[in-house]
Amino acid sequence: MLCSIPIHFVRIDLIRPNERHHAEHAATLADTIMREQLWRIPITLECNSLAVMDGHHRFEAARRLKLNYVPCLLLDYDQVEVIATRQGYVVTPEEIVRRARSGDLYPPKTTRHRFPSPLPACNISLWLLQDQAALPFSSPTVRAIDQIRTT
C-alpha cells in the first residue's frame, strides 16, 4: 500500500516533468494551496530519474508558489502501470523518462498512471516547504532529496 511508503521532500529544481500542464488548472491549485496553507497530496516520481508520474499540475502550482521542496512518493515502474490517453503517442516507462530528461514534453494528460492503492494525504504546512531549515529530517517517514541519484 502506498500509505506505508515514506514521503520525501524533493528539491523542486530536481523534479523532471514529462507532460505540459493546463495553466488555468495549475493557477487554481496554487490559489487553493496558498489559501489553505497546506500541501495535501504528494507528487509521485519515478525513483531514479525523478520524472513525474502523477502531479504535473501540482508541480506547476509549487513552482508558482516558489516552494523550495515538494512532498513526493518515489516509486518504480514495477509498482505502477502506465497507459496512453491520447492516440499517436508512445507511452512506456522508458519513453516517459526519456521525455523528462530531454524536455520533450507530452501534451497535457497524455499519460495515465495506475497505482496499486490511492495516493495518501500528507497535509504538510507550506512553511515547511519554503524553508530548508524547517524540514523535519528526524522523522523516519520523511526524508529530503537534495541531489539527483546517478545510479
pLDDT at 150: 42
| Ramachandran area for residue 93 (φ above 0: left; ψ -120 to 50: alpha; else beta) | alpha
How high is the mean pLDDT in each 10-residue block of the chain (151 residues)? 82 96 97 96 96 98 96 94 96 98 97 93 90 52 53 42
Q: If we measure between CA atoms, which residue out of 59, 68, 46, 61 comes closest to residue 115? A: 46
Residue 102 domain flag: yes
* Strands (E) located in the chain: 7-11, 38-39, 43-46, 52-54, 69-75, 81-84, 111-114, 124-125, 142-145
Distances (CA, A) of 103 to 17, 35, 57: 8, 31, 16
SS3 (DSSP) at 82: strand
98 part of a folded domain: yes
CATH code: domain of residue 75: 3.90.1530.10
Number of domains in the chain: 1
Task: Tell me whether residue 151 is in a domain.
Answer: no
Q: Give the model's pLDDT for residue 143.
A: 55
Q: How high is the pLDDT of residue 128?
A: 86
The domain of 61 spans 2-145
What is the rounded CA–CA span in Å between residue 113 and residue 84?
Answer: 9
